[in-house]
Structure 1
Amino acid sequence: MRGLTQPIGTQGELGLLALAAVVLCAPGFLWGPGESHSWLYNVLWTRQIAEGFARGELYPRWFPESFSGLGSPTFYFYAPFAHWIAGGLEFLGLSTQRAVQLLSFGLLLGSGLAMYAWLRLRGTLPLLGAILYMAAPYHLADLYVRGALAEAAGFVWLPLIALGIELLPRRKGVVVLALAFAGLVLSHLPTALLACVFLIAPLAVWRAVKTPSIIAPGIAAAVLGAGLSAIYWLPAMTLQGHISTDLLWSPYYQPASWFVWRLSLLNLALFAGAALGWMLLAVPARSVWSCVTLVAALAALGLIPFVWDLPLLAKAQFPWRLLVVVEFAAITAIMAHPPKGLALSAGRLVLVVPVAMMIAQAAVALRAQPDLATVLAIRNEAPEYLPNGLPAAGVSGTQRTADVSAYDRLPRGDQITVTASGPVTLGRAAFPIWRVTRDGQEIPSRGSLITFDAQPGLYRVERRVLWQERWGGAASGGAALVLLVLLGLGLRRRR
C-alpha cells in the first residue's frame, strides 16, 4: 500500500499502473470478451471496419454486407474512435475477438494513464487514484457487462479535458483541451453531451471566475475540438432523416424509463449502488468536484428529473450514463481530500454492492462465448440503421433483430441489366451516397430500397461524396493544421 500513496518514481508507478490494467483485463484475455450486452455489435463492427481498411478506406462508414447484404450506413452515425482501433488491430492480423479484447485493455490502460497525468498535475496520489479509476465498478461494467466500448473510451478523455482546462490559458492547455474534446466527441456522442453539461461547463465556469484570462483560449480550444471532430459529427447530425431514428426514441430508450424507482433489482444494485457510494465518499471533500459528483449522481438516478426534459439531454437515453462523469469527479475529489471515519466506512460498504454485482454479471457474460460464424454470416445490424420507412417488424427495446428476409431475392451488386421496362428495386438500402446511372447519366431513384423506373439496358450503382463529408473533412483538416501550427510555435519557443 505504501507504493500507492508515496512516490516510487514515475517509471515504477507507470509499471504498476500497467500491471493493474493487465490484472483487471486478465479474465477477458483468458476466456475472451464473452456475451456482453453489446458483443454482437463489437464483433460486427470490428470485422467490417477491418474489411473496409482492406478495401483501402481510411474511414469506413458504409458496411455493404450488413442486413444480409442490404448494407448499412452505421458509421455515418456511430462515433468511430474505439471500433476504428479494433478494426485496425484485426486488419493487422488479430482475430476479431482478440482485437476487441486488446481494445478493452488499451482503453482501460489509457484511462489510467490519463487519470495519472491529471492527478499528478494536482499532486494528489496519482497512482492510487488512477488504479481506483480503472477498477471503478461502472468503468469495469462498461467493459465486461455492457460491452460499451465506445462509452468506455469516454473514461480516457475526461481526465485530459480537465487537464487541458487546468493548463489554460497556456498554449499547451489549448492543444490538450482541443484534442481531448475532439477525442470525446469521436468516441461517444451521448457521453460527450452529458460531460459538456455536467462536467466541462461547470469546471470551465469555476476556473473562469477565478482566472478570466482563460475564457478566450478556452473558446478557441472548444472551436478547434469541434472542428477536429467535424468529419464525424457533421454527417451524423445532418443525415438522420435517412435512417430509422424513431427506434432510438421509443419508450424503452426514454431517460424517464430508467429513473431509480423503475430500475430492476440488478440495475438498482449496480447503478444506484455506484452513485450512492461515490457520493458518500466525495461529498465530505467540499470542493467543486464534490458538487459535480453530487449533481451528476443525483441526475443519474433521475432524482433531478426536469433536466431530462431538455431537448438534447432527452436523447441521451440512459441517465446512468452519467456514472462516467461521477466516477471521474468523485475520485478526483477523494484523492485531494481522502474521506475519514463514518463517510469512509459507509462509502466502502455501499460500493461493495455494485462491485459484487459487476463481478457476478461479468462472470455470466464471460462464460457464454458468442457464435461468431453465425453472427458474421447474417450480419444483422442495429435496427436504427435501417433505411427510413423500411418495415422493422418485431423490433423493440429488448428485441434488436430486424427480419429482412423478405428482400433476399432482390438483385444486388453494382450493376444490373434490365430486359423489360418498368420499376426496378435493388437489394440495397437507399442512402444519399448512392446514385443510379445509365450511360453516365443519373437516373432518379426513390424508396427505402433503391427503386427506379427503367428501360432495357445496363444500369450502375455508383458512390458519390456528400457535401457533409467534404465540409466535415475540410473542417477537421483545417483544425488539425491550426493545432500543428500551435505545436510548432510551442516547440520553436522551447528551443
Structure 2
Amino acid sequence: MLACGVVLLALFAPALVFGARASDDIPWHFIWLQSYLDAVRHGELYPRWMPDAMAGMGSPAFYFYPPFATMFFALVDMIFLHQLPLAYVIAVSACAMGLASAAFFYSWARNFASVRVSALLGLAYAAAPYHLLTDYYNRGALGEYAAYVWVPLIFHAAHRYLVTAGVRWLALLAAAVTGLFFTHLLSAMIVGPVIAAYVLLALFGRQRRGNAGPGITVTLASMVAVALLAVGVAGLYFIPALTLFDAANTAALYARPIEATRLFARLSVHDNPVVTRYTLFAAIYLALTAYLLAEYLRARRRAAVAPAGLGTSGATVLMWTVVTALCGLFMWGKLGFVFEAPSPYRSLQFLSRLLIVVEFVLLTLVAVVFAVLPAPAERQRIASVLLLVFAGLLVYQALALFKKFEHMPIAVNEVALSPRVQYRITPPEYYPKGAPFASAVDQLLPQLAPHLDASEQAWIVDGSGRIETVAQSHGDFVLRVTAATAVSVAIRQFYFPGWVAQDQQGRRLPVTAATPFRFATVQVGAGTHTLRIAREPLPVEGWAKKLSSLSLALLLMVLGALGWAARRRASRAAPAMSPATLNRSR
C-alpha cells in the first residue's frame, strides 16, 4: 500500500511542484475560487451571484456550477492559513481528492479482493488516464474529477448495507449520494442507472441464496427512500440550477453537437488528437473487459469458479461487462436516441464522459474476477496482463506530463497572470443571455473595453439627468439621481433574475436588461431620487432551501427509525440469559 501511495504522489509531483497550470477549465477554477473567497469575506457561505466576475460586471456562475469543488478548495486554503498561492491550493486539493478516490476504491474492492489486489486497484483508479491525465492535467475539469471520489463510496456503502443491514451504511450511502450531486450533476446522471442495476441484481441474488436480514421489499424501500432524500438534500444546489437554466447563455454549452464528440471516428494524432486519445483509452478498456470475461467463462466451463457470494455471481460479471459494452456503443455514436431531445442525457456534452463509468466498472470487474477465480495460475496470468497494460498507461501518462511541464517555469504561473483570470472572465455559458459577446477572450475584451477598468459604476442610458453619487459594495448599489425627464439608469452589473430596486419612499421599481450589453437598468421619473439596487434571493432559492432542509430532517428521521428497528430485531433475536449469566452481567 505504501508503494501505491508513493507512485500516486509521483504522478501528482508536477501539480505539487508547478501548481495548477494551463488546461481547458483551470482558469475558471482560479476565478471561482477567488470570487468564492471574496463572498466568504462578505459573510456568504453559499453565494449564487459573483459581483466581482466579468471585470466587476457580475456572473451567475454559482447558480449553475456545483459548489463542492470550490468549497473544498476554500477549506484547503483555510487549513493552510491563506498562505498558499491559489495555484497550489488547487493542486494540493486535487492531490487530496486523488488520494481519497484511491482509498475509497480500495474499500470497495476489499469486498471482493485481497489487500494487495485492492491497493493496486485503488492506485489504478486514482491514476486512470481519463481520471488523472484528462480530467485534471489536460481538461482541468475539477468537478468531474472530484466526482470520482464519491462513486466507489456509493457502491461500497450500498454493498455493505446489503451484506450487513447496518444503518450506518445507509447513512454513508446518503452522504455519498448528496456529495455526488453537490459535486457534478452529469456524473450523477451517468452513475445512477449503474448503481440501481447493481443493487437490484445483488438484492435478488441475496434473496435467492436465502441470506439473513430484512426482506427484499424492506431493504429496497429503505435504500430508495434514503437515496431520494439524499438527492433532496442536494436540491439546495440543483433545483435553482435547473429552474434558471434558460436564464443564462446556456446555448453556448451546445455549440458543438454531442454527436460530433463520438469516438472511434476521424482518428488522427495530428488533426484530432483529443478524440484519438480518448479512443485509445476506450479501446484498451473494452479489450480488457473482453479478456476478463473470456477468462471467467473459461474457468466456469472447467468448474473452476469459487462459490458465488454477494456481488460475485455470474450475473454480476455479465452486468459489469454489459455496462462497459453499452458505454462503448454510446461513445461510438451508436444508440444515439439516448442522447436526443428530450432526453436529459442530451446535456452530457461529451460522449467521452462515459469513461468515468468505464474506468470504475473495469477495475471493479478485475476485483470480482480475482474473487471468483481461485486457481493461482489463472490469477498469475491475469495479473501479468493487467500489470503490463497498467504499466504502459503509467508510462504514457508520465511521458505526456513530462512533455507538458518540460519547459514550464515554476516561478511564473501563466494562468494566474492571464487576462481571463485578471478580469475574472467566466465561461461563455454564463454570459448575459442575448448579449452580443464573443466567446474568445481576445475578442471579448475589446468589446468590454469601455467598461473594463471604468470607475463609472452607474450612468444614464436614456433621458436627461445625471448621477449625483454612487456607492457600491459587493454588488449592492446606492445611487442619487437627478432627472429633468424620465430616465433609465444602468449599473455596472449584468442583468440576471434577482435584481431589485427601491426608491427613497420604499417603492419597488422593476429592473430590466434594457441595454445592448444587458446591464441591469431601472427607470425613474423626473426629480431627485435615491435608489438602492441590489440582489435578493429568488423564490426558487427559498423553495430549494426548504426542500433541502425538509429532506435532511426526514433523512435523519428515517435513519433513526431504521436504527431503532434494527436494535429491536437484534434484542428479540438475542437468546434469553440464564440466571447465572444474568447475575454475572450485573
What amino acid does structure 1 have at the position aligned with 2:66?
A: A
Distance (whole Å) between structure 1 residues aligned to residue 444 and residue 283 of structure 2: 32
Is 2:210 the counterpart of 1:206?
no
- Select the structure that is richer in helix: 1
Of residues 179, 182, 187, the one that matches 1:191 is 187
2:123 to 125, 131, 137: 131
> Which residue of the other structure, out of 112, 120, 131, is the alignment partner of 2:110?
120
Q: 1:428 aligns with which of 488, 493, 517?
A: 493
Amino acid at match of 1:449: F
1:461 partner letter: I
Q: Deviations over 1:331-380 (max 9, x none)?
A: 01012215879987777777677655544443444454424144443111
- Structure 1 residue matching 2:511: 3-state secondary structure: coil
Distance 1:282 1:258, change over 3 A: closer
Q: Which amino acid aligns with 1:164?
A: A
Q: Work out the CA distance in 2 between the residues paired with 1:469 and 1:344.
A: 52
1:312 to 333, 344, 347: 344
Aligned counterpart for 2:366 among listed residues 321, 334, 342: 334
Taking a change above 3 Å as real, the CA distance of residues 284 and 357 of structure 1, as seen in their structure-2 partners, is: closer
Go from structure 1 to structure 2 and tell me whether the alpha carbon gap of 1:400 and 1:25 turns closer, same or farther (over 3 Å shift): farther
How many angstroms does 1:385 deviate by?
0.7
Which residue number corresponds to residue 212 of structure 2? none
Q: Cα distance 1:418–1:364, how it changes in 2: closer, same or farther (>3 A)?
A: farther
Which residue type is aligned with residue 378 of structure 1? Y
Indicate the residue corresponding to 1:8 in structure 2. none
Number of the residue aligned with 1:164: 157
Q: Which residue of 1 aligns with 2:401?
A: 362
CA offset at residue 98 of structure 1?
1.4
Structure index of larger Rg: 2
Secondary structure at the residue paired with 1:393? coil
Rounded Cα–Cα distance in structure 1 between residues aligned with 2:327 and 2:228: 25
- Structure 1 484/180 Cα, relative in aligned 2: closer, same or farther at 3 Å? same
Instruction: Give the match's secondary structure for 1:323.
Output: helix
Count of aligned positions: 479
Three-state SS of the structure 1 residue aligned to 2:490 is strand
CA distance 1:314–1:399, change in 2 (3 Å): farther
CA distance, structure 1, for counterparts of residue 444 and residue 146 of structure 2: 24
Partner of 1:7 in structure 2? none
Q: Distance in 1 between matches of 2:292 and 2:446?
A: 49
Decide whether aligned partners of structure 1 residues 436 and 291 sit closer, same or farther in structure 2, where only a CA change above 3 A counts: same
| 2: CA distance, partners of 1:166 / 1:329 | 15
* Cα offsets for 1:420-477 (capped at 9, x unmatched): 2311222111122221111222111211321121233111112312222222222222
1:284-303 matched pairs, under 5 angstroms: 284-286=291-293, 287=317, 288-303=319-334
Matched, 1:261 2:256: no
Pair 106,487 (structure 1): closer, same or farther in 2 beyond 3 Å: farther
**Equivalent residue number for residue 104 of structure 1:** 94
Q: 1:108 Cα shift?
A: 0.2
User: Are the equivalent residues in 2 in contact too, given 1:307–1:313 (CA < 8 A)?
Assistant: yes
Q: Percent identity?
A: 27
Matches of 1:130 and 1:491, distance apart in 2: 31
Mapped partners of 2:130, 2:263: distance in 1 = 17
Q: Confirm or deny: 8 A CA contact 2:27 2:415 kept in the other structure.
A: no
Alignment of 1:244-259 (within 5 A): 244-250=249-255, 252-259=256-263
Task: Give the aligned partner of residue 512 of structure 2.
Answer: 446
Deviation of 1:317 (Å): 0.3
Q: Which residue of 1 aligns with 2:432?
A: 387
- Contact kept, 8 Å, 1:258 with 1:302, in 2: the verdict is yes
The alpha-carbon deviation at position 40 of structure 1 amounts to: 0.7
Do 1:382 and 1:400's aligned partners in 2 also have CA atoms closer than 8 Å?
no
* Cross-structure match for 1:404: 448
Distance 1:399 1:127 in 2: 49
Distance in 2 (CA, whole Å) between partners of 1:400 and 1:194 is: 34
The amino acid across from 2:174 in the alignment is A
Q: Over residues 142-172 of structure 1, what are the superposed CA-to-partner deviations in whole Å (9 max), with x where a residue is unaligned?
A: 1111111110111111111212322345323
Shift of 1:138: 0.9
CA contact (8 A) 1:181 1:222 kept: yes
Deviations 1:289-330 (A, max 9, x none): 222222223323334433322521111000101111111100
Q: 2 CA distance for matches of 1:235 and 1:335?
A: 40
Q: Distance in 2 between matches of 1:356 and 1:128?
A: 16
Deviations 1:211-263 (A, max 9, x none): 4333212211221121111110011000112210111111x252433443145
Report the Cα distance in structure 2 between the residues aligned to 1:62 and 1:371, rounded to whole angstroms: 23
Q: Distance in 1 between matches of 2:153 and 2:447?
A: 43
Q: Which runs of 4+ in 1 moved over 6 A?
A: 339-353, 398-402, 489-492
* Amino acid across the alignment from 1:293: T
1:74-128 CA-to-partner distances (Å, cap 9, x unmatched) read: 1110011111111233344132111101111111011011101111123353212
Name the SS of the counterpart of 1:261 in structure 2.
Answer: coil
* In structure 2, C-alpha distance between the alignment counterparts of 1:259 and 1:351, rounded to whole Å: 22
Partner of 1:452, secondary structure, is strand
Partners of 2:77 and 2:89 within 8 A in 1: yes
Q: 1:351 to 1:218 in 2, by over 3 A?
A: same
Residue 145 (structure 1) aligned with residue 210 (structure 2)? no
Amino acid at match of 1:324: I
Q: Distance in 1 between matches of 2:112 and 2:385?
A: 26
- SS at structure 1 position matched to 2:49: coil
- d(CA) in 2 for partners of 1:128, 1:229: 33
Tell me how far 1:400 sits from its aligned partner: 8.7
Corresponding residue SS for 1:86: helix
Q: Give 1:277 shift.
A: 1.2
- Alignment match, 1:461: 533
Q: Cα deviations across residues 40-71 of structure 1 (Å, max 9, x unaligned)?
A: 11211122111221111111222111111110
Decide whether the 8 Å contact of 1:116 with 1:129 is kept in 2. Answer: yes
Q: Name the CA distance, whole Å, in 1 between partners of 2:445 and 2:91.
A: 24
What SS does structure 2 have at the residue aligned with 1:320?
A: helix
1: CA distance, partners of 2:130 / 2:523? 53
Q: Tell me what 2:309 maps to.
A: none
Alpha-carbon distance change, 468 to 394 in structure 1, aligned in 2, over 3 angstroms: closer
Unaligned runs of 5+ in 1: 1-12
Given that residues 67 and 404 in structure 1 are in contact (C-alpha distance below 8 angstroms), is that contact kept between their aligned partners in structure 2?
Answer: no
Match of 2:423 in 1: 378
**Stretch moving more, 383-392 or 226-235:** 383-392
8 Å CA contact retained: 2:292, 2:366? yes
